[in-house]
Every structure is written in C-alpha cells, then in structure tokens.
Amino acid sequence: LAPAFRVPRVVDTTGAGDAFLGGFVAAALDAGGIAAVCADAGALRAAVEFGAAAGALTATAPGAIDAQPSRERVVAMLQGRNQ
C-alpha cells in the first residue's frame, strides 16, 4: 500500500508499531475518521504513510516513549519524501 521509509540508523524498534498505529489513527481522524479513510484510497494511503513515517522515526531513538516523534517531525519526513 505504501513503501517503507529508510532511516539513517535503526537504534531501537520498541514502540515503532505503536507509533505507526497512533500516526495512522491521527491522520485518519484528520481526514474525517476511519470510515472516511476506508472509502477513499488516497486518504487511506496518506494515513498509512503518516503512520509509517511515525514508526520509522521512532526506530531512530532508544526507548518506547521518548522516541515517539512529534507531528512536526513526521510532516517534515513526509515532505522530504515528496520532494
């Protein structure tokens, strides 16, 4: 559905799945909710990409909580991919 993100160095994958899910849900809510995202392939892909970026960023730092990225960091990663 969406390609994975490459990161310079994976430090710890603890919390990456949680970050993916949190990012996906946040993007889905921003797009109008889960039902709205499931009805629109573009919105679904965008939500999956947001979650994937959040998970990738989480793997670049140690720990589960402190490694969780901010929305701004996720958006910056997405913008870097789309340039």
Active site residues: 15-18
Query: Which residue type is seen at 39?
Result: A
4: CB partners within 8 A, 6+ apart: 52, 56
Query: Which residue type is seen at 5?
Result: F
Which phi and psi (to 5°) does residue 25 adopt? -65, -40
Structure tokens at 15: 């919390």
